[in-house]
Amino acid sequence: MAFNLLKKKGNTPEETGNGLFGKLKQGLSKTRDILFTDIDELFSSKRTIDDSLLEELEESLIMADLGVDLTLEIMERVSKKSKKLSTADELKAVLKEEISALFPAGSAEEDPSGAVKPQVIMVVGVNGTGKTTTLGKLATKFTNQGKKVLIAAADTFRAAAIEQVEVWADRANVGIVKHREGADPAAVAFDGVEAAIARGVDILLIDTAGRLHTQKNLMEELKKIKRSVGKRLKGSPHEVLMVLDATTGQNALSQARLFNEAVGITALALTKLDGTAKGGIVASVAHTMDVPLKYIGVGEGIDDLQDFDPNLFINALFD
């Protein structure tokens, strides 16, 4: 379980070095700069923790895309505790406590894959979020775990979408089910489930279209795909994973709500954390959406898609 990464013997932040922890810390470097550099400079002149400093801290949290409402909630609690604080380190410790509290207990859950075969995972999201790339990285991740994986190329609308999925299937050395461009996406997904059952596959990953989330026809197509796989395999899809782009900030939350209303999101993946100074969106998403945040992307490499661990995230941000 991802939540236990820091609890395993010999797997402390220091010992992970350039591994998961190192990559995560590097990916969050821009957010760390916003949150802490200015605060340290403020204290270098031995300023006391006063209203002016707290206002600047509030601004920094908003800039890091924690969200205005959530920032105000945190700052209200920090302000009450600030009367007993005197140093930047003490202020950071209080912030760490407050941000840690945003992640619900059990937000990192056991991977359900393997409980049912095939485990059907429907991957959704707006074009440009890294949806298909995330699907490809997941295919590689599961394959490296010894699982038999199949991909259904159900994004039949976007030019070259099928070819993009084929490239990832090639890299991950997994099978692919595809139809011609413009074919019925639900039919592709249905055939994907058929093939997964016939081939004894462990995990079926279904790529879907991601045109503008405000277009009703896209949501209807996604609903149709979900119904189609459910007819062929009762209880599927077992997971509806939505991919969000961290660089879009609070807009990612709006997208998540709309997709959730349409197809019932069960898990989230947040990509491109290395390309933004707004890493606060991680805490904002975890706190606002009643959906587990399962994966975060901190780079372009295949191994840069990490299982989300709240403890690891907090340590990478603050330590």
Q: What is the mean pLDDT of residues 202-219?
A: 81
Q: What is the CA radius of gyration of the chain?
A: 21
Of the pLDDT bands very low, low, confident and very high (cuts 50, 70, 90), residue 243 is: very high
Percent of the chain with pLDDT over 70: 82
pLDDT for 47: 63
pLDDT for 16: 45
Q: How far apart (Å, rounded) are the C-alpha atoms in residues 115 and 136? A: 22
pLDDT for 241: 96
In eight-state DSSP terms, residue 258 is H
Asked if the model's pLDDT at residue 34 lies above 60, the reply is yes
Asked if the model's pLDDT at residue 214 lies above 60, the reply is no
Do 145 and 169 meet the contact criterion of CB atoms below 8 Å apart? no
Record the tokens describing residue 300, joined without a space: 């372009």
Q: What is the mean pLDDT of residues 237-243?
A: 96
Which residue type, as a one-letter code, is found at position 149?
Answer: V
The residue among 143, 124, 134 whose CA lies nearest residue 202 is: 143
pLDDT for 168: 93
Q: How far apart (Å, rounded) are the C-alpha atoms in residues 262 and 264? A: 6
Q: How far apart (Å, rounded) are the C-alpha atoms in residues 196 and 205? A: 10
Q: Which helix (H) or strand (E) holds 93?
A: helix 88-100
Q: Which of 51-55, 94-98, 191-195 holds the top average pLDDT?
A: 191-195
pLDDT for 7: 32
Report pLDDT digits (tens) over 54-87.
888 888 888 888 889 899 999 999 999 988 887 7
Of the pLDDT bands very low, low, confident and very high (cuts 50, 70, 90), residue 42 is: low
- Long-range pairs for 226-235: beta carbons < 8 A, 24 or more residues apart: 226/122, 226/263, 226/264, 227/186, 228/186, 228/187, 228/189, 228/190, 229/120, 229/122, 229/189, 229/190, 229/192, 229/193, 231/190, 232/190, 232/193, 232/194, 232/197, 233/118, 233/120, 233/193, 233/197, 235/116
Report the DSSP beta bridge partners of residue 150. 175, 204
Do 298 and 24 meet the contact criterion of CB atoms below 8 Å apart? yes
Helices (H), 173-277: 185-198, 216-232, 251-263
Asked if the model's pLDDT at residue 32 lies above 80, the reply is no
Asked if the model's pLDDT at residue 109 lies above 80, the reply is no
Report pLDDT digits (tens) over 119-169.
999 999 998 899 999 999 999 999 999 999 999 999 998 878 999 999 999
pLDDT for 64: 81
Query: Which domains occur in the chain, in start order?
Result: 14-100 (1.20.120.140), 119-309 (3.40.50.300)
Q: What is the mean pLDDT of the chain?
A: 83
Q: How far apart (Å, rounded) are the C-alpha atoms in residues 289 and 295? A: 15
Report pLDDT digits (tens) over 167-209.
999 999 999 999 998 899 999 999 999 999 999 999 999 999 9
Q: Between residues 252 and 170, which one has the greater pLDDT?
A: 170
Min mean pLDDT across 107-111, 214-218, 236-240, 284-288 is at 107-111
Report the DSSP beta bridge partners of residue 123. 207, 241
Do 147 and 203 meet the contact criterion of CB atoms below 8 Å apart? yes
pLDDT for 18: 56
Do 63 and 30 meet the contact criterion of CB atoms below 8 Å apart? no
pLDDT for 39: 61
Q: How far apart (Å, rounded) are the C-alpha atoms in residues 169 and 167? A: 5
Do 30 and 277 meet the contact criterion of CB atoms below 8 Å apart? yes
Percent of the chain with pLDDT over 90: 40
Q: What is the mean pLDDT of residues 17-21?
A: 63
The residue among 116, 73, 124, 130 whose CA lies nearest residue 266 is: 124
